[in-house]
């Protein structure tokens, strides 16, 4: 689904739910949907400020909360960022794989990991499998090129050898 189709889908879902995709919410969603990886709230704020000079952090956070509640974006706790939902069937566990160098994010249905973790959790005295799991792993491109990490909150700025 391209960005325009995703925005149209979001508009339609809002109508079904009796909510509104306001101009600001739409701009925030569009910005996040166009990113190859995750976006932090202040990245969104800086990107949208030229269009809407009066934007403030609380406005962005309210928009992100709405978009997350509607299922259009996911908050990635490990990086304190947001990514557009790539799979609109939320009746499943989701595994997010985040590259600590380039910030690329893959969203995968977690049916396989759910079975795996159910056993591990049970063996250690825990119950329910989380609906949302985040894993850091170097993407193939960063491994192949030995790319310099640019996401300072996940990795230092030195060059990784990727011989982990």
pTM, whole model, 2 decimals?
0.80
* DSSP labels, 3-70: HHHHHHHHHHHHHHHT----HHHHHHHHHHHT-SB-B-HHHHHHHHTTT-TT--HHHHHHHHHHHHHT
Through-space distance between the first and last CA atoms of the chain, rounded to whole angstroms: 35
Q: Which domains does the chain have, with CATH numbers?
A: 3-84 (1.10.10.10), 89-164 (3.30.1490.190)
Binding site feature residues for Zn(2+): 99, 102, 139, 142
Binding site feature residues: 99, 102, 139, 142
Which range, of 40-54, 98-112, 139-153, averages the lowest pLDDT? 139-153
Give me the torsion for CA of 157, 136, 37, 73, rounded to 10°. Answer: -140
Q: Which has the higher per-residue pLDDT, 111 or 76?
A: 76
């Amino acid at each position: 689904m391209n960005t325009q189709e995703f925005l149209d889908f979001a508009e339609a879902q809002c109508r079904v739910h009796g909510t509104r995709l306001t101009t600001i919410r739409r701009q925030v969603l569009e910005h996040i949907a166009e990113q190859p990886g995750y976006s932090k709230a202040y990245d969104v704020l800086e990107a949208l400020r030229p269009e809407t000079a009066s934007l403030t952090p609380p406005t962005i956070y309210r928009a992100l909360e709405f978009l997350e509640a509607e299922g259009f974006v996911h908050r990635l706790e490990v990086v304190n960022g947001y990514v557009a939902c790539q799979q609109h069937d939320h009746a499943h566990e989701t595994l997010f794989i985040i590259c600590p160098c380039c910030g690329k994010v893959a969203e995968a249905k977690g049916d396989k990991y759910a079975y795996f973790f159910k056993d591990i959790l049970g063996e250690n005295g825990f119950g329910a499998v989380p609906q949302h799991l985040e894993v850091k792993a170097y993407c193939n491109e960063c491994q192949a090129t030995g790319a310099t990490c640019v996401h300072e909150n996940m990795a230092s700025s030195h060059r990784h050898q990727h011989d982990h």
